[in-house]
Structure 1
């Protein structure tokens, strides 16, 4: 590990732990102040967020929505820093759900379930809620540098009750399939492709690429593929379960299934654009066809986590 990486990891971990010591209101105020400074700085991530939101937000509202979205993004970080010490009863009490019977019925039938989520709201919060109230879950995370930071992310999510696999390992799909085959719950972020194996979809009215893994896993295991979207409301967060995507095992079926997922994401982002934290290139018009998405300079640790 380089000195810079070591210092970055140490500062990150120290901040992570110190934020837990602050009263909740003070922590939220601190991160709102950070968000305002980040927005005012108008760096590449803010510019990319504005460009992405411009697909769904009218020009006259775009600056205000982008500012609010940066605040929502920093709220995610504030809560994620505090989640390991957050009493689970309080987290559950502040979680609102819509149609959670969809996932409960699938798991009760012993079929397992594959959940696909966008980068909305706080998926770590949603995962902690699911592990407490529904079932332990398995997910996939990209390996970060430095390794210490990746290890902290994995330990953090395991403390919340999640089983975390490293993206790119040769047996990831087999382990996910085994988990689902045993009646388990798998949750995968699915609104941005980090490989060269994504499928083309229409998202927010434009061509984009999304990972085909959720659809392929559902087809392989015969488990339902359930889109889930998240949004904030003051001190609460809503977890909305959408109708399962119909299975399509014909040629190109994975693309058509992921298009149904993209349609659910499009509707939710249109209703709650402030809570879509997409600070990277996701639309085909913004992508260099020769660029490896795994080495996108717009990426950050937050979105590198699955």
Structure 2
């Protein structure tokens, strides 16, 4: 019953919110965000705990201000996403203004294949729609399998309607498909600041340890694709901002595990810098740092939980990142 209710509420959002005038949808989002913030439920409290790492030394009042802005940003994401399938091509093209896009377009023009890796900032779906509409470039991504299955199907259909090829997050088949797309000179986009498998690469993030998925770094090594971090944020305008950062290079030394660890740490450092500049637009309402997670059985900590593949083998970790939202 709970799963059916969840699916029905999302369906109502997609069906009803997109019919509202844009100012009304924004006002509704702020109202819902403020109500959730005042209730200070589990998600809001976790958001504040996460922001305390991002803004060390912030007073309780400052953290409350940030969490309120963060909830408004989070609900802006949902209001935009509910309405995005009904936006005109011109509205999508004008809704995002990224910096240094030439790093992406030059990489694609060279036929090398490009991986875009993003944290959970602002509106990933709008950025993806902009890529398929403004640059007229399709891309592949992966999505977490949500429950109920009908809700997962809604998300897949929604993202496919925006021009994305959506692969299920679980299983090694997704990794192989992504590798083939990259070898053909294509584009892959992965949300990569939260490890869904709990078997990811350990990194330092705002001074503490967490895990991030190894997929982006592994794909770059295995295919020769360019790995570009991207950060997104909102300002006071209706236009979302963003930046494509310089590529994360494959280290010249070390074995595959060591190279993957170094590249994933480099991604984490870029993400941290972008989140520190716009902490209110980082939509992380779950536990992220190892200190906050339940204890797990003691064993040797893997850096990349897959064996070294043979040359030309597309097998790898199914944990390529994801498009899931908190």
TM-score bracket relative to the smaller structure: over 0.9
Matches within 5 A, 1:114-193: 114-134=115-135, 135-193=137-195
Question: 1:275: how far off?
Answer: 0.3
SS of residue matched to 1:55: helix
Which residue matches 1:245? Answer: 248
Question: 1:133: how far off?
Answer: 2.3
Question: 1:303: how far off?
Answer: 7.1
Moved more, 149-158 or 60-69: 60-69
Supply the distance in 2 between the matched residues of 1:42 and 1:109 (Cα, whole angstroms). 49
Question: 1:125: how far off?
Answer: 0.2
Which residue matches 1:20? Answer: 18
Taking structure 2 as the reference length, the TM-score comes to 0.87
Supply the distance in 2 between the matched residues of 1:183 and 1:116 (Cα, whole angstroms). 17
Supply the distance in 2 between the matched residues of 1:148 and 1:99 (Cα, whole angstroms). 38
Q: 1:285 aligns with which of 291, 294, 298?
A: 291
Matches within 5 A, 1:1-306: 3-57=1-55, 58-59=58-59, 60-134=61-135, 135-233=137-235, 234-248=237-251, 250-251=254-255, 252-290=258-296, 304-305=324-325
Count, aligned residues: 294
Supply the distance in 2 between the matched residues of 1:282 and 1:4 (Cα, whole angstroms). 25
Q: Following superposition, which runs of at least 4 residues in structure 1 exceed 6 angstroms of deviation?
A: none
Supply the distance in 2 between the matched residues of 1:230 and 1:7 (Cα, whole angstroms). 31
Supply the distance in 2 between the matched residues of 1:269 and 1:305 (Cα, whole angstroms). 16
Question: 1:132: how far off?
Answer: 1.3
Tell me, yes or no, if the aligned pair for 2:47 and 2:284 is still in contact at 8 Å. Answer: yes
Which residue matches 2:307? Answer: none
Supply the distance in 1 between the matched residues of 2:266 and 2:90 (Cα, whole angstroms). 34
Question: 1:137: how far off?
Answer: 0.9
Moved more, 205-214 or 244-253: 244-253
Query: Deviations 1:144-181 (Å, cap 9, x if unpaired)?
Result: 11111111100000000000000113311100000111
Q: CA RMSD in A?
A: 1.6
Supply the distance in 2 between the matched residues of 1:140 and 1:75 (Cα, whole angstroms). 23
Moved more, 250-259 or 68-77: 250-259
Taking structure 1 as the reference length, the TM-score comes to 0.92
Moved more, 175-184 or 8-17: 8-17
SS of residue matched to 2:54: coil
Moved more, 171-180 or 11-20: 11-20
Which residue matches 1:296? Answer: none
Tell me, yes or no, if the aligned pair for 1:141 and 1:305 is still in contact at 8 Å. Answer: no
Q: Which runs of 5+ in 1 are unaligned?
A: 292-301
Tell me, yes or no, if the aligned pair for 2:191 and 2:323 is still in contact at 8 Å. Answer: no
SS of residue matched to 1:177: helix
Supply the distance in 2 between the matched residues of 1:126 and 1:149 (Cα, whole angstroms). 22
Supply the distance in 2 between the matched residues of 1:88 and 1:275 (Cα, whole angstroms). 25
